Amino acid sequence: MVLPILSTMQPVAGPSSGDDLVRLVGTGFAEGVQVLFGGVPAGVISVRDEAGLRIVDARTPPHLPGSVDVELTNLDEAGTPVPGESVVVSSAYRFTRSTVAREADLTRAVRQLLRELKRQVLANVSATVSVDYDDTVVDGLNVIAMAKVPSLVLSGPTLRPNRFYSANVAHEDVVDGVSGPELLRRRPPYTADLVFTLTAAADAARGVGRWELDADGEFHITLAGKDDVRAFTCGFVVRGFDVDERMPLDLGKPVTELELETRAIAPGGAP
């Protein structure tokens, strides 16, 4: 009977959604092991020797927020847990709920777009997620409530996958490992086009109705309503935007350091 010993584990906290890459280092690990986080099986990626230690890389399962016990059990050749060959570390890992205060890159991009519209085009700019409300369905038009004109309303974005701008290559960072520098690879980001719709309106009687072209390069200026309000809708696209956070893909590939061989040469000797 070999009693496994768990020496270190990194990281010790991660998202409650799971899929966090965790490394367990110790001794007495069999070629096959089972890892439980709070009684829920983790996905074991690899088990190997390094610098006289046994290393297990695993991905955490989804779990409710809170601290949980981590249990490692040796498996036999048939994949069955070996009785007595397990180790449990109490409250070794903490599942955390994603903070609501963290702002996504997409949110910052939309906010900056609104700022530029206010600065360069018109101060009366607002944003809306949907423009499908209509109190008069017979005219076939959608309605956006505007407090005053002239005004601009930014709608969207909708996301369309963009394979042209997608690198589709895992990003690599050099991190400290058990026996030296290692590569931490992250999944390629999800690259998409952000498709926005811009709706503008102005009072034609005041001579402030200069609305020009849409995403197809065509003019859309129309009169709508008894108040003689000019309005148009156009679309525009932000191409090649990376949306996701790129979760870790794998860890453990050693970094090869450059070695330079030299030979001493006697004075006056040939190289």
**51 vs 210: CA distance, rounded Å:** 71
**Judging by DSSP bridges, how do beta strands 151-161 and 191-203 pair with one another?**
antiparallel
| pLDDT confidence of residue 90 | 94
CATH code, 39? 2.60.40.10
- Domain limits at 156? 105-254
- Please report the beta strands in 42-170, taking only residues with DSSP state E, as ranges in sequence order: 43-50, 53-59, 66-75, 81-96, 125-128, 151-161
Rg of the chain, C-alpha, whole Å: 30
Phi, psi of 40, rounded to the nearest 5 degrees: -105, 130
CATH code, 175? 3.30.2000
**Same domain for 170 and 232?**
yes
| pLDDT confidence of residue 4 | 93
Last residue of one domain, picked from the residues 38, 72, 96: 96
| pLDDT confidence of residue 152 | 81
**Same domain for 109 and 220?**
yes
In a domain, 261, yes or no: no
**Same domain for 112 and 38?**
no
| pLDDT confidence of residue 222 | 47
**Same domain for 151 and 249?**
yes
| pLDDT confidence of residue 63 | 94
**104 vs 243: CA distance, rounded Å:** 9
Contact 93, 12 (CB under 8 A): yes
Phi, psi of 213, rounded to the nearest 5 degrees: -115, 155
CA-based nearest residue to 197, from 266, 243, 130, 119:
130
**Same domain for 82 and 205?**
no
| pLDDT confidence of residue 173 | 72
In a domain, 249, yes or no: yes
| pLDDT confidence of residue 187 | 72
**Same domain for 160 and 209?**
yes
Which tokens hold the place of 256? 């090869």
The list of the chain residues with pLDDT below 50 reads 130-135, 142, 207-212, 219-220, 222-226, 258
**Same domain for 91 and 131?**
no
